[in-house]
């Protein structure tokens, strides 16, 4: 059986005439898994509907933001009501204070926060602040971690760069990338060496506290604690990139779930409730170096935009007021994990499922996946086949083994069962 993709194919052909690659963000193009992307018409709850009228259970959820499912009514209504009061002023509003206060009340150790319009901007600005604050230039990031597309981060980055095997990015000057040092995820020894060899030169260590851009990879026991003490000892700013994990793993993000404090934290995805929002925040002592309080310049015409703020505020307030949301998310994801185990374990296909809270991924690997090298050595050709088999069965997974699946509260028991049936059919076909 094959789903009809006639309208999507027509749209994709047309899109390629006026948009590079036909998409506004590379991983959407299905280039690595093959085939052409489906064009979405609308979505509600757990389901996406495409231009050909096909229905899919959505495990991307806009790469995270739609944590309460699509077209979540309180957010949609808040956006509509607020839009009538004009969509932007370029002057301060009380709503921005409410948003900042809400974030500070949820995120551990965040005394002050600055709103931006994307996760990229948040990470880029946090690194500038760390450099301005310490007076040092170098930063350390981890192989396979993605912190957005700013120049300094496009070194051994995960997500789309891993998917398309882009090693060096034309347009990023060596003078910029030379200041970005990298180490394998979960390798504390490598960090000690880097810090020793670059004594008093490292401004920041930036990390995804639970990695989600090489599939899902949890930090090993003691790893983040070790980084925390290196940063304390060496006067390095410890930045948690919680663009993916923030407000997803817990109301207080990975900091709360794992019980570790960063000096600066970056947010994106869930924080905007589906609108373009990012934020960075942290200790007052560091944040007060941001302009106009300090001289580290950072600005944005649409930063703190009222429509974006009301969407984000409504989303975060819901998450703060109802802790059972996180229990439900974890329960659904755990169920999916256990049942996928039942499908794959007897099959003889080597596989690894990593999961933290409502982040989960599947690697076709015969050894544990603890860093980027492990993720890259998995059978990603098999993943691509799995992706297409699932898509044909109405299950929309991220089109790359280097991406986490995102679960929303809208995913029902029946949706999980439908997903497993599709996976079981894939295994059966594989074995035949």
Ligand X SMILES: *Cc1c(COP(=O)(O)O)cnc(C)c1O
Site size with ligand X, rule: CB under 6 A: 15
Torsions phi, psi for 359 (to 5 deg): -110, 130
Catalytic residue among 146, 267, 351, 402: 146
Beta carbon nearer to ligand X, 63 or 351: 63
Catalytic residue among 50, 58, 179, 241: 241
Alpha-carbon distance of 197 to 60, in angstroms, equals 40
Q: Is 133 a catalytic residue?
A: no
CB of 249 to ligand X, least distance (A): 12
Taking contact as CB under 6 A, which single stretch among the options 112-120, 286-294, 327-335, 371-379 is the one that binds ligand X?
112-120
Nearest to 347, CA basis, from 420, 243, 409: 420
One residue of 37, 119, 253, 306 binding ligand X per CB under 6 A: 119
Supply 419's token pair. 């997903």
CB of 345 to ligand X, least distance (A): 30
CB of 430 to ligand X, least distance (A): 30
CB of 404 to ligand X, least distance (A): 8
The Cβ of residue 346 has, within 10 Å, a number of other Cβ atoms equal to 9
Beta carbon nearer to ligand X, 258 or 343: 258
Torsions phi, psi for 262 (to 5 deg): -100, 165
Residue 250, SS3? coil
One residue of 70, 131, 136, 147 binding ligand X per CB under 6 A: 147
Alpha-carbon distance of 146 to 277, in angstroms, equals 17
CB of 81 to ligand X, least distance (A): 25
Nearest to 183, CA basis, from 201, 205, 203: 205
Dihedral over Cα of 240, 247, 96, 307: its sign: positive
One residue of 5, 32, 61, 120 binding ligand X per CB under 6 A: 120
The Cβ of residue 295 has, within 10 Å, a number of other Cβ atoms equal to 9
Tell whether residue 243 is a contact of ligand X (CB under 6 A). Answer: yes
Please, is 13 exposed, middle or buried when counting C-beta atoms within 10 Å of its C-beta (0-12, 13-18, 19+)? exposed
Tell whether residue 160 is a contact of ligand X (CB under 6 A). Answer: no
Please, is 348 exposed, middle or buried when counting C-beta atoms within 10 Å of its C-beta (0-12, 13-18, 19+)? exposed
CB of 207 to ligand X, least distance (A): 9
The dihedral formed by the CA atoms of 288, 134, 177 and 215, expressed in degrees to the nearest 10: -70
Q: Is 146 a catalytic residue?
A: yes
Catalytic residue among 156, 269, 326, 402: 269
Taking contact as CB under 6 A, which single stretch among the options 128-136, 240-248, 288-296, 327-335 is the one that binds ligand X?
240-248
Tell whether residue 244 is a contact of ligand X (CB under 6 A). Answer: yes
One residue of 15, 38, 113, 123 binding ligand X per CB under 6 A: 123
- Touching ligand X, residues 194-233 (CB under 6 A): 208, 212-213
Taking contact as CB under 6 A, which single stretch among the options 76-84, 141-149, 166-174, 392-400 is the one that binds ligand X?
141-149
Supply 314's token pair. 């409504």
Alpha-carbon distance of 78 to 161, in angstroms, equals 36
3-state helix, strand, coil in the chain (%, to 5): 45, 15, 40
CB of 199 to ligand X, least distance (A): 28
One residue of 5, 8, 32, 118 binding ligand X per CB under 6 A: 118
Tell whether residue 146 is a contact of ligand X (CB under 6 A). Answer: yes
Note the Cα 257 to chain centre separation in Å. 16
CB of 120 to ligand X, least distance (A): 3
Nearest to 187, CA basis, from 229, 144, 142: 142
Beta carbon nearer to ligand X, 241 or 374: 241
The Cβ of residue 53 has, within 10 Å, a number of other Cβ atoms equal to 10
Beta carbon nearer to ligand X, 32 or 213: 213
Q: What is the largest CA-CA distance in the chain?
A: 66
What does the angle CA 358 – CA 360 – CA 362 come to, to the nearest 5 degrees? Answer: 165
Beta carbon nearer to ligand X, 244 or 336: 244
Q: Is 269 a catalytic residue?
A: yes
Beta carbon nearer to ligand X, 67 or 382: 67
Residue 215: C-alpha distances to residues 174, 329, 331 (Å): 28, 18, 20
CB of 97 to ligand X, least distance (A): 23
Residues in contact with ligand X, shown as a per-residue x/- string from 266 to 305 under the rule CB under 6 A? --x---------x---------------------------
Alpha-carbon distance of 79 to 307, in angstroms, equals 6
| Catalytic site positions | 146, 241, 269
* Binding stretches for ligand X (CB under 6 A): 118-120, 123, 146-148, 208, 212-213, 241, 243-244, 268, 278
């Amino acid at each position: 059986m094959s789903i009809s993709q006639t309208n999507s194919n027509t749209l994709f052909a047309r899109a390629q005439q006026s948009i590079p690659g036909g998409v506004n963000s590379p991983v959407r193009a299905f280039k690595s898994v093959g085939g052409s992307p489906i064009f979405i018409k609308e979505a509600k709850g757990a389901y996406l509907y495409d231009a050909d009228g096909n229905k899919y259970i959505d495990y991307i959820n806009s790469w995270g933001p739609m944590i309460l499912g699509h077209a979540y009514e309180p957010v949609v209504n808040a956006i509509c009501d607020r839009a009538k009061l004009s969509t932007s002023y370029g002057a301060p509003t009380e709503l921005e204070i409410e948003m900042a206060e809400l974030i500070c009340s949820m995120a551990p150790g965040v005394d002050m926060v600055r709103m931006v319009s994307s996760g990229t901007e948040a990470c880029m600005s946090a690194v500038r602040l760390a450099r301005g604050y310490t007076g040092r230039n170098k930063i350390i990031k981890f192989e396979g971690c993605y912190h957005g597309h700013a120049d300094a981060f496009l070194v051994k980055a995960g997500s789309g760069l891993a998917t398309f095997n882009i090693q060096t990015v034309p347009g990023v000057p060596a003078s910029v990338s030379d200041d970005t040092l990298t180490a394998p995820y979960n390798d504390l020894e490598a960090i000690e060496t880097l810090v020793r060899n670059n004594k008093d030169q490292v401004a920041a260590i930036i990390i995804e506290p639970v990695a989600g851009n090489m599939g899902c990879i949890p930090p090993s026991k003691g790893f983040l604690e070790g980084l925390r003490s290196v940063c304390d000892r060496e006067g390095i700013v410890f930045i948690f990139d919680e663009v993916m994990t923030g407000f997803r793993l817990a109301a207080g993000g990975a900091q709360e779930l794992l019980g570790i404090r960063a000096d600066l934290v970056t947010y994106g995805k869930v924080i905007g409730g589906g609108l373009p929002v990012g934020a960075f925040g942290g200790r007052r002592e560091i944040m007060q170096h941001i302009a106009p309080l300090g001289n580290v310049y950072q600005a944005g015409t649409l930063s703190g935009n009222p429509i974006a703020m009301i969407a984000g505020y409504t989303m975060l307030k819901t998450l703060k007021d109802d802790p059972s949301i996180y229990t439900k998310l974890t329960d659904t994801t755990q169920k999916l994990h256990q049942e996928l185990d039942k499908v794959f374990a007897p099959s003889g296909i080597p596989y690894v499922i990593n999961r933290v809270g409502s982040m989960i991924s599947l690697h076709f690997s015969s050894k544990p996946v603890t860093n980027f090298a492990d993720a890259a050595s998995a059978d990603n050709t098999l993943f691509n086949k799995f992706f297409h088999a699932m898509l044909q069965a109405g299950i929309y997974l991220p089109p790359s083994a280097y991406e986490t699946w995102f679960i929303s509260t809208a995913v029902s028991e029946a949706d999980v069962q439908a997903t497993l049936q599709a996976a079981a059919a894939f295994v059966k076909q594989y074995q035949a």
